[in-house]
Structure formats: C-alpha cells, structure tokens
Structure 1
Amino acid sequence: MKGVLLVNLGSPKSPDAKDVKPYLDEFLMDRYVIDVPFLLRALLVRGIILRKRPEKSAAAYKKIWWEEGSPLIVLSKRTHEKVRQLTDIPVSLAMRYGEPSILSGLQELHDKGVNEVLLFPLYPQHAMASTTTILVLAEELRKKHFPHMKFTIVPAFYNKKDYIQNLADSIKNHLEGFQYDHLLFSYHGIPERHVRKTDITKSHCKIDGSCCHTPSPAHEFCYRHQCFETTRQVVEILGIPKEKYSQTFQSRLAGDKWLEPYTDIEINKMPEKGIKNLAVVTPAFVADCLETLEEIAMEANHQFKEHGGENFLAIPCLNDSDAWVQTISNWINEWSKK
C-alpha cells in the first residue's frame, strides 16, 4: 500500500526561550547544518551559541507567533489537510526538527498498512541543510523501525512547470496595485562550502560568474544553480525586464563565507539607487516562517525605510493556496497510479 510523508523544517513548541533552546539545539547540532566534527560543533552550539541565541530567537518568534501556534506549523497543517482531501492514499505530515517528528509520521503511515512511502521534502531547491538531512534521517529511521518499508523520493522541484507557474501567478497576484520599482528574489543562504560538498562532479562548482549557468550534472544537487533557475523561469513567465529584478541570499551566520550577495546589505543600498518601492519574494520556502515573516516582512521592511525607501511589499509564500495544494496533490496522484 502506498502513502505520502510531507516534511517541512519545524518550529519550537512555543515562542518561549525554554522551548526555543531545545529546538535550536536539535537544529544546530545537525551535522548537515553545521558540518564540522561533533566536538567542535558541540563547543560552538552548546558552549557559545545557545548561551544567548535562545532569548534572541524567542523574541523574534514572539513577533510572528499566531494564536493557533507557529505559522510554519499551522500553514503546513492546513496544506496537509487540503491535500488529504484531494488524494486517495494516506498522507502524513512531519517536521525535521520538533513535532510532529519524522518517526511519528512514518509510524502513522505504517499503522495504516503503508509499505511504500513517497518521501516529500517541502523544499523547492536541494540543499544539505534542508533536503539531505531529511532524507538521511528518514532512511536511518526506516532501517531501524520499518525495514520492509520502501521510499520513493520527490526530488527538488525548483524547475517543475506546475510549481513555477504557481509561484509566478502568486507573485503576479500580489503585485496587483503595487507600483514596484524592483522585485527582489531573496533565498535562504547557505555556506559556500555546502555547494562544493554537494557537487557530484567534485570540480564544477566554483561559485564564480559562470558555473551555475553552464550545463553540468552538478546542477542536480546545486542549491545556487537551482535558485538562479527558479528566478530565471519565473521572470520569463512574468516578462520582468532584467533591470527590475535581482537575487540575493538571507539568514547568514558570522564566521563563514556564505552565498552572496546578502539580502540585508543589498536592500539597504536600494533607496540610494532610486528604488523607493520594493517587493520581495522568498522562493526557498513554500510556507511562511520566521525567515519570511520576521526577517523580511518586519526587519528588512524597517531597514529599507530607514535607508530612504518608501513602500515595501513582502509577497507571501505559496502556503496553503488552492493552486499549490492542487499541484502537490497532482504529483501525489500521478505517483500513486504508477
């Protein structure tokens, strides 16, 4: 019997520091997020970061927390429920960090008699710190608890026609009535070394001006290339001229070289370039979360206006929109009939 496990990032149980701390510990101690030896990772995370970061992150979560709970969890649950109504096979929801866990999601499917699972990471672009860590943990749990279960993996869908159309339509709809000077595609940032580590050719990814635009087998797992390709296809559909859009990367940590250009730095420079009306879309996420609601819709908005900007539009993620839910359901139904 076939079934589906939708997997997203996760969230603390509450916006209180006591709940944010264990969530951050699980997240930052992941070897695919901070990819250094365990002892060094433990020293960085538990000896330094977790001393002050939980309080700071808790304050940020409190700004965006909904009455029903974490926006990411609430939106993921809404999406899950809608998808269930449009599919004929069991569909469960899990988070890589926090609850509901991947183990509980797989157990739920197992209890319904499912032995063939479509593992569906809800990330458009492939990255070590998102897709890979989900696949690795799920496989570890399968071997330990469900040895007779079989996985089929949904690959990164950054360039799938249906997804691109959903994203383009969403952007177009939200831009109606907003006279923007510039549209910024802001993707979640990752360390440059993650791009090189996922290069299956071990030689193509140089992170220069050409490698992401030169055909290569490396692109199957190259986050940077996939971000550029998502942007390229969307602006092509929308007919946005080159001078009216750009792409940046957000949420970097200090101490490492992360993908550039950086969202905050570029946004702060825009008003002096004559960009007074800015729209920002965040296509690395399919559900709004801390990085989109607080970092972009609040902080980037504030900084843009502090530097002379006038109007700022944060375009929501696809969330549980009917078109996106239909796309997910279509992909599931196509697989279930194979």
Structure 2
Amino acid sequence: MKKAVLLVNLGTPDAPHTPEVRRYLKEFLLDGRVIDIPALSRWLLVNLIIAPFRAPRSAKAYRKLWTAEGSPLKVYGERLKTLLQDALGEDYEVYLAMRYQNPSMRSILAQIQQKAYEQIILLPLFPQYASATSGSVIQKFYDETRHWQAFPSISIVSYFYNHPAFVQALASRARPYIEADRYDYFVFSYHGVPVRQIQKADLHGCCLQTEDKKVAGCCSRLHEQNQYCYRAQCFATTRLLAEALQLPAERCITAFQSRLGKAEWIQPYTEDVIRQLAEQGAKKVLAFSPAFIADCLETTIEVGEEYKELFEALGGEKWVLVESLNDHASWVEALRQIVTEATLNISRQTVPTQATTVTNQTTA
C-alpha cells in the first residue's frame, strides 16, 4: 500500500490584483491562530480596516514579484512536489496544498480520502513551529478530516529546523555568497509573531524572562520547557546555520520582520537591527530568510528590496539576500530524508481499522 505525503505552504493570491489579494488577506487574517483576538473584533478589524486598505498596496507588491508562471511560492511548490515524488519513488504519492486559497487543503484532502493509503504524512513547509503557521495547518487538517469514517495512520512533522539535511541545504545556498565576498555582518531575518502568541504557548512561565526583551533571554538556548517556542527555535536555527558555515557568532544577528498592528511583536525588529548596523559603520551585510522555504513577498520584496533600500539609505554599501531553498536539489534531498524518517513501520498486510495519530518531530 502507498503512503500519501501532503506538503502544505501558507498560500498566495490567485492573481496579483486587488480583488484576489483582498480575498487572500481575508481568509488568511480571519484565521484565529493568525490574529488571536475575539472573533467579532477580528472580523471588524480585517474586513473594515486591514483588507480594504492593505489589499491595493499588497497587490502592487505582488505584481513586482509575479512571474510568467505565476506566484513564485506556488510555482516552486509545484516543482518541489514533482521532484520529491521522483526522489521518493512509487511507494509514495506527493500532494501540495495551501493553507489559504488554492489548491485548498479541503480539495486535496478530498482526493486523498478517495484512496486507500497506508499512511498520511502531513508536512507543513515551515521549518520552525508556530501556532499561526504549522499549528494552523495541523488544526485545519483535523477540521477537514473529522468526518472521515476510516483513517490511515497519520504522521505529522511539526518542525524540521534542526534536521541536519535541512541545515546543510541552507548552507549550500549561502556558501557561494560567502566564498565570493567578505561581509561585516550576517542578518537572519525571520517572520515575526506577537509576543502574546509566544507567551500563550509557554506552559512553564519562563517566556522572555529578561529585563531587555530585545535580547534572546530564555530563547538563547533550547531546553525541555521551551522546545516548541518559535522564537527559541529561530535563535537555534541561526546557531546551527552559523556553525555549518563556520561564521563568527558575534557577527550573526537574529531578527524578526513583518509586524502588523500596534501590539508588541517579538524582537529585535529587523529594521532596528539595520539602523544599528549602519550606525556602527557596517558596509556589507549578507541576509538570510530561514523561516521561508520558497521565495515570496516577505523574502524577495521585504528583505531583498525594502531592507536593501533602507540599509543603503543609511550609508550601507551592500545588502545581499540569499535566495530561498525553492527547488534546489539539496532541499529535495532534505525533504526526502525528513519524509522517510517520518514514515511509520507498518506491516503492509495490516489494513487500518481505526484512527491512529502519531506526531513525529525530526531531531538533529
């Protein structure tokens, strides 16, 4: 019996125009795990303020990003699906869905339900775990399958930031840049989340226990109590990648981008880091976006263009962004290993008769 591999990324508008972008923003921001405030307040905020005013600006940015084939995030996703299928072979069938918009998780799961798979491997394409990303995908998976009468075994890869093959794939992307030039600093810019979301996931009361929330604090090392902390996993990703590339730790900076609204978000903010580096006289910076596995608005436009303009306006000479993994061969191999390790050792003679849920995490 075959196994189904369901890759899920965040999503993208169907077209780089205001109506399609507005539709995407509404579905995305109305998710209670993304904007975690009371439902009525969230509905009013998204429908009356954010979507109407943000959609035209976002559509303009998407038009800069769009290619002849479509949105890079979706284009690379489709390529990745095909390449991973080839790498895994005939024992697996690989699917791609988006958490928001198309192809929808509902439509893809309907296809999966029609086949008698031995196992479903759910793999949210977010290296670090966060409630608003991987958590939302996992919840959506169970929301869409709760009516199924028969379940295969289910394996969920909650995160893979510390998988050696993933780290090496990132390093292989960055190494040509490091060999080609000397940089003053290396900035690792991750997508931000509100502080309250980090603290909601803290069951031990240790979150951000430091006088200065801009520094790592309790996130400076991973331990049993903060192993699911998104911020701690981001700092750990930076350390792992710096070690793989043999970069000096004192010149590697972890920062967070893409704030929304007036709430406090996890720090340090990438914009603040850029200003501080410029004040210190830094001239050359190599930037990474290790929270994203495919080029998208947050990488190509925000980090690659907007932060570059800010750095140069402040006196910097060179801001270079390492492109995302996209469909790179090392990334396909990393995914092959992750999926293989998540595969359960189930007898091919056994027909599953009841729901069995097993959550697997890859480990370094």
Work out whether 1:198 is the aligned partner of 2:201. Answer: yes
Q: Is 1:152 matched up with 2:152?
A: no
Partner of 1:270: helix, strand, or coil? helix
Amino acid at match of 1:69: G
Number of the residue aligned with 1:311: 318
Q: In structure 2, what is the equivalent of residue 37 of structure 1? A: 38
User: Is the Cα contact below 8 Å between 1:142 and 1:149 reproduced in 2?
Assistant: no
Aligned equivalent of 1:266 = 273
Is the Cα contact below 8 Å between 1:83 and 1:328 reproduced in 2? Answer: yes
**Number of the residue aligned with 2:260:** 253
Whole-Å separation in 1 of the counterparts to 2:153 and 2:66: 37
User: 2:27 matched to 1:26?
Assistant: yes
1:76 corresponds in structure 2 to 77
- Further displaced range: 80-89 or 237-246: 237-246
Q: How does 1:1-338 map to 2 (within 5 A)?
A: 1=1, 2-87=3-88, 88-114=91-117, 116-145=119-148, 147-199=150-202, 201-208=203-210, 209-213=216-220, 216-336=223-343, 338=345
Deviation, structure 1 residue 312: 1.5
Q: Name the CA distance, whole Å, in 1 between partners of 2:149 and 2:289.
A: 36
TM-score by length of 2: 0.89
Q: Is the 8 A contact 1:204 1:216 kept in 2?
A: no
Question: What residue in structure 1 maps to residue 358 of structure 2?
Answer: none
Equivalent-residue separation in structure 1 for 2:301 and 2:220 (angstroms): 32
Quick one: distance in 1 between partners of 2:134 and 2:260? 20
Shift of 1:197: 1.1
Moved more, 168-177 or 37-46: 168-177
Residue number in structure 1 paired with 2:350: none
Q: Deviations over 1:6-47 (max 9, x none)?
A: 000100001100100010000000000000110000111112
Structure 1 residue 173, shift from structure 2 partner: 2.3
Q: Alpha-carbon deviation of 1:71?
A: 0.7
Distance change (3 Å), C-alpha of 1:215 and 1:293: closer
Distance 1:14 1:216, change over 3 A: same
Q: Which amino acid aligns with 1:271?
A: A
Secondary structure class of the residue paired with 2:92: coil
Moved more, 320-329 or 167-176: 167-176
CA contact (8 A) 1:115 1:148 kept: no
Cα deviations by residue, 1:62-88 (Å, 9 ceiling, x for unpaired): 111111000100111111110011113
CA contact (8 A) 2:165 2:337 kept: no
1:176 counterpart SS class: helix
Secondary structure at the aligned position of 1:257 is classed as coil
User: 1:319, 1:214 → 2: CA distance?
Assistant: 29
8 Å CA contact retained: 2:99, 2:137:
yes
Equivalent residues of 1:121, 1:154 under 8 A apart? yes
* SS in structure 1 at match of 2:147: helix
1:223–1:183 Cα change, 3 Å: same
Change in Cα spacing, 1:18 to 1:146, as seen in structure 2 (3 Å) is: farther
Q: Deviations over 1:173-223 (max 9, x none)?
A: 233312211110001000011111112x24121353431235543323100
Per mean C-alpha deviation after superposition, the further-off stretch among 107-116 and 136-145 is 107-116
One-letter amino acid of the structure 2 residue matched with residue 162 of structure 1: A
Describe the SS at the equivalent of 1:271. Answer: helix
Q: Taking structure 1 as reference, are residues 46 and 214 closer, same or farther at Cα in structure 2, changes over 3 Å only?
A: same
For 1:104, the aligned partner's letter is: S
Measured in 1, the distance between the counterparts of 2:338 and 2:145 equals 23
8 Å contact 2:238–2:252 — kept in the other structure?
no
Name whichever of 311-320 and 260-269 sits farther off: 260-269
**Which structure 2 segments of 5+ residues have no match?**
211-215, 346-364
What's the RMSD between the two structures over aligned residues?
1.6
Equivalent in the alignment of 2:349: none
Q: CA deviation at 1:111?
A: 2.8
Q: Distance in 2 between matches of 1:27 and 1:257?
A: 20
Return the letter of the residue paired with 2:122. L
Amino acid of the residue matched to residue 263 of structure 2? D
- Structure 1 gap segments, 5+ residues each: none
Q: Which amino acid aligns with 1:151?
A: I
Contact 1:120 1:154 in 2 (8 A): yes
Mapped to 2, the partners of 1:171 and 1:218 lie a distance apart of 32
